[in-house]
Structure 1
Amino acid sequence: MNSEQLTEILKAAFPEADVAVTGQAGKFDLRIVDDLFQEKRPVARQQAVYAPLNDYIASGEVHAVTIRAMTKEEWRKASLFGA
């Protein structure tokens, strides 16, 4: 699994999202910006991101992810401070 493949999987699961994936060798940093996350707690956001990845995690293709799941407004604010 590489970052481009993982990006495509996440874009299929979150078609309206801005998706950025970095990493390699099964370890990835994920940033998914989608208003779908509005009103969801952090755990629910992570569960939504993990859902399309479960098979890849179970197979060992993906074994570590850092997830930043936020709304467009949260990302806009974070970007103001260089996040």
Structure 2
Amino acid sequence: MTPEHVKTLIEQGIPGCQAMVSGDGSKFEAIVVSDAFDGLSPVKEHQLVFATVNEHIASGAIHALTIKAYTPVEWASRSA
């Protein structure tokens, strides 16, 4: 499993999102920016992202995934 593959899975599972993924083959960190997170609790945001890769977590292809989820407004304020 590559970071690019994880990025593709997340971006296909959450249409319109931007994902930036780093990792070493089984442990990954994802920064995900999406309008879909607007109004969601952090737990719900993480559940939405995990749902895109759950099959690969269950198979062991992904051992760990750390998620940082932001709405576009939150991301813009962090980047400012």
Compute the TM-score of the two structures, normalised by the length of structure 1. Answer: 0.91
Identity %: 36
Distance of 1:35 and 1:15 partners within structure 2 = 10
SS in 2 for 1:58: helix
Distance of 1:23 and 1:11 partners within structure 2 = 17
Corresponding residue number in structure 2 for 1:12: 12
RMSD: 0.8
Q: CA deviation at 1:25?
A: 2.3
Which segments of 5 or more consecutive residues in structure 1 lack a partner in the other structure? none
Mean Cα displacement is larger for which, 36-45 or 9-18?
Answer: 9-18
* 1:27 partner letter: K
- Report Cα offsets for 1:47-69 as digits up to 9, x if no partner: 00000111100111001111011
Which segments of 5 or more consecutive residues in structure 2 lack a partner in the other structure? none
Distance of 2:9 and 2:16 partners within structure 1 = 13
Corresponding residue number in structure 2 for 1:45: 45
Q: Does 1:2 pair with 2:5? A: no
Corresponding residue number in structure 2 for 1:26: 26
Corresponding residue number in structure 1 for 2:64: 64
* 1:8 partner letter: T
Query: How many residue pairs are counted as aligned between the two chains?
Result: 80
Check whether the contact 2:3–2:25 (CA below 8 A) recurs between aligned residues: no
Compute the TM-score of the two structures, normalised by the length of structure 2. Answer: 0.94
